[in-house]
Amino acid sequence: MNGTNGVNKPAPKTWGISAAEFYASLRDKSVQVVTLDGKLYKGALVGVDTYDLVIKQPNGLAILIAKHAVKLIGAE
């Protein structure tokens, strides 16, 4: 039971950090991105919008990755 009067409260719809906060915490940091087809991309996360990520690779090439193609992303 949750609450002081013994009434169950519904679970919150969101908790923890938001996706926007997660991406903001990775701004300009080295990340690894794995896409749904298994390809691995490494570089600095330099841009995020509603649908895409921009990764600047160590060779200086910036690449655009569609968010719907991302399996996972994390800091190196």
Q: pTM for the complete prediction?
A: 0.79
Asked if residue 4 belongs to a domain, the reply is no
Asked if residue 53 belongs to a domain, the reply is yes
Asked if residue 16 belongs to a domain, the reply is no
Asked if residue 19 belongs to a domain, the reply is no
pLDDT at 6: 64
Domain ranges, residue 60: 28-75
Cα separation of 63 and 23, whole Å?
16
Q: What is the DSSP string of 6-65?
A: SPPPPPPS--S--HHHHHHHTBTSEEEEEETT--EEEEEEEEE-SSEEEEE-TTS-EEEE
Q: Kindly tell me if the per-residue pLDDT of 12 is higher than 80.
A: no
Kindly report the CATH number assigned to the domain that includes residue 40.
2.30.30.100
Strand order in the sheet with 30-35: 62-66, 52-56, 40-48, 30-35, 70-75
Q: Structural domain tally of the chain?
A: 1
Q: What is the tens place of the pLDDT at every residue in 15-73?
A: 888 999 999 999 999 999 999 999 999 999 999 999 999 999 999 999 999 999 999 99
Asked if residue 6 belongs to a domain, the reply is no
Q: What is the tens place of the pLDDT at every residue in 24-33?
A: 999 999 999 9
Q: Which residue has the higher pLDDT, 35 or 9?
A: 35
